[in-house]
Amino acid sequence: MNDSSGVLFSVPYEIAAVRPLRQTTLKERENALETAGLNTDLLPQDLIYIDLCTDSGVSAPSTTQIAAAGGIQTMEAAMGMAAEGSRAFASLSEQFCKVFGFPYLVPTTRGRAAERIWTKIHVKPGTVVPGNMLFPSTRMHIESNGATMIDVIGERAHDFLSQDSFKGNVDLEKLAAVFRKHGRDKVSCIYVELAVNACGGHPVALENLKETKMIAAANGVPLFLDASRILENSYLVRQRETGYQNRSIHDIARETCALADGCTMSALKDFLVPSGGMIGMRDLDGYRRAAMQSFLDGAQLSGSAMEMIATALREIFAAESYLASRIEQVDYLWRRLRGGIPLLHPPAGHAVFIDLAAFLPLVPVENYRAEALAAFVYVVSGIRLSKGPPPAPSQAARGADLLRLAVPARKYVQAHMDDVAEALLYAYAQRSEIKGLKQVEDPARSGYEPSRFTRL
């Protein structure tokens, strides 16, 4: 105990409501998995014990958020073309500007909608966009506008065992080479993802972001952020970057945004809501164009969703212990698994990543290692895992094959993490039983439908 602060509250909230989980039998799980074509993504929710498929939009909101979403103030006319007339928009705008420093905000239904609108405005056909292993939807929106994505992440992002604290960093020499090769007129923007999901949720250092901004400014090119996980990135900066140990998360997040000309973000990750995305910007003309585009796209956010995000911003920065609890829970799971199974190092913010090539070395990549391991774990434990988003092109070229354990915020307790660890350690001990899967060929199946498998 520290006399100056008293007892440390390791979990800074209490559970106000619970949802019962049905105890399934081994036979029920085997039947459910067969019905789902051995694809854990198709399992019915009521037959899942712990769900680590995603942390997006499934974290537990606070009682204040729920009350705000259902309050009478959210029962107002839609924003239409005059967002300023919406009470909920005014509340969210005030909080967003106060926290992140961007004077203009366009709320959207999802982070994907924010990316689509932003890239329509800023990404030109025939240009290039350098970025640090961007999320698949970000890459897709850039490329659908006729631009080419160039990966300029540092090489240590590809080293699973490296202890580098900031594997999300931009390789500044790679970035400079883009300008030398293509010229500033052929670069639409630089896009930097914070807490880069593809390489394990690893953060970007503020020093690296400052140097990236200097290169952008020297070439007259805007710097944009994918700030969906800005809180995780800020927390890890405070933990790992010299000079930030005594800074607040709010100060670090504000300094991060001050380096950017604009940002897109999904609210479903850090802000504990089931819907919502945001575009932050400094340019009035860009704001007007983005607001009109969101209206035309039907991507405007409901009043209740805006109230939930505004409430989350107030609560999170009033008591930063929530964020510590969230990231330390992921760190706990990582430490429980470390040494027992092959993991990406070091631990990061929202998920634990397993190196499948090392976990299942006898199963070729074409035999769906991730899906096979997820199926095995579900049958023995009722825990759902999922491959997660596809790897970045630079990862695919190196043969990276990862399984992500995404931990929703405030949803599970320590005993749940222990159960996950025990199930995975058991799977590793029995890994010789996991033979891989074969995709079922069905000419009638659309290429957009989830795959189904059979065992080898």
Of 191, 192, 193, 183, nearest in space to 127 by CA? 183
239 plus 339 within the same structural domain: no
274 within some domain: yes
**Whether 204 and 80 share a structural domain:** yes
- Between the alpha carbon of residue 449 and those of residues 39, 125, 354, 444, the distances in Å are 12, 30, 26, 10
What stretches of 340-444 show up as alpha helix (H) in DSSP?
Answer: 356-359, 369-381, 393-397, 414-429
Tell me how many domains the chain contains. Answer: 2
Which positions of the chain have pLDDT values less than 70? 1-8, 72-84
Q: How far apart are CA 255 and CA 237, in angstroms?
A: 11
User: What is the C-alpha to C-alpha distance for residues 138 and 210, in angstroms, rounded to an integer?
Assistant: 22
Place of tokens 């905000």: 105
Question: Do 307 and 391 fall within a single domain?
Answer: no
Q: Residue 442 is part of a domain; what is its CATH number?
A: 3.90.1150.10
In this structure, are 295 and 424 located in the same domain?
no
**Among 63, 341, 101, 124, CA closest to 225:** 101
Last residue of a domain, one of 284, 318, 352: 318
Residues 95 and 157 in one domain: yes
Q: Is residue 359 part of a domain?
A: yes
Residue 15: inside a domain = no
Same-domain pairing of 281 and 387: no
Q: What is the pLDDT of residue 1?
A: 39
Given a contact cutoff of 8 angstroms between Cβ atoms, the answer to whether 169 and 204 are in contact is yes
Supply the Cα-derived Rg of the chain in whole angstroms: 22
Q: Is the dihedral of CA 142, 145, 146, 147 positive or negative?
A: negative
Cα separation of 41 and 234, whole Å?
A: 31
Strands 277-281 vs 262-266: parallel, antiparallel or unpaired: antiparallel
Return the residue matching tokens 């107002």.
76
Q: What is the C-alpha to C-alpha distance for residues 362 and 369, in angstroms, rounded to an integer?
A: 10
Contact 208, 190 (CB under 8 A): no
Q: Specify the DSSP element, H or E, that contains 352.
A: strand 351-355
Cβ within 8 Å of residue 215, ≥6 positions away: 172, 175, 176, 179, 190
Cα–Cα distance for residue pair 308/64, rounded to 1 Å: 8
Same domain, 178 and 236: yes
Q: Can you give the residue range of the structural domain that contains 146? A: 63-318
CA dist 334 → 87, 326, 338 (Å):
43, 13, 6
Q: How far is CA 429 from CA 171, 239, 328, 426, 434, in A?
A: 38, 34, 26, 5, 11
Instruction: Give the largest CA-CA distance in the chain.
Output: 69
H/E element, 119: helix 111-122
Regarding whether 436 and 423 lie in a shared domain, the answer is: yes
Residues 6+ apart with CB under 8 A from 79: 85, 86, 89, 300
With respect to residue 444, please indicate whether it lies within any of the assigned structural domains. Answer: yes
Same domain, 308 and 350: no
Pair (47, 111) in one structural domain: no
Residue 34 is which amino acid? E
The answer to whether residues 270 and 232 touch, using CB atoms and an 8 Å cutoff, is yes
Torsion sign (Cα): 22, 25, 26, 31: negative
CA angle 108, 220, 130 (to 5 degrees): 60
Q: State residue 444's pLDDT score.
A: 78
Boundary of a domain, candidates 265, 295, 318:
318
The tokens of 39 are what? 């694809």
CB 210 within 8 A of CB 249: no
Q: Which of 283, 318, 353 is the last residue of a domain?
A: 318
Pair (214, 331) in one structural domain: no
pTM: 0.93
150: phi then psi, degrees, rounded to nearest 5: -120, 120
Give Cβ neighbours of residue 296 (< 8 Å, ≥ 6 apart). none
Structural domain includes residue 83: yes
Q: Is 2 inside a domain boundary?
A: no
Bond from prior residue into 346 cis (ω within 30 degrees of 0): yes
The verdict on residue 1 lying in a domain is no
* Token code pair at residue 2: 């520290």
Residue 70 has a pLDDT of 79
- Give the closest residue to 322 by CA, choosing from 309, 312, 332: 312
Do 36 and 112 belong to one domain? no
CATH number at residue 277: 3.40.640.10
Write out pLDDT tens, residues 158-170.
999 999 999 999 9
**What pLDDT sits at residue 2?**
44
Place of tokens 């160039």: 150
Are the beta carbons of 452 and 38 closer than 8 angstroms?
Answer: yes
Assess if residue 371 is contained within a domain.
yes
Alpha-carbon gap, residue 8 to 75, rounded angstroms: 40
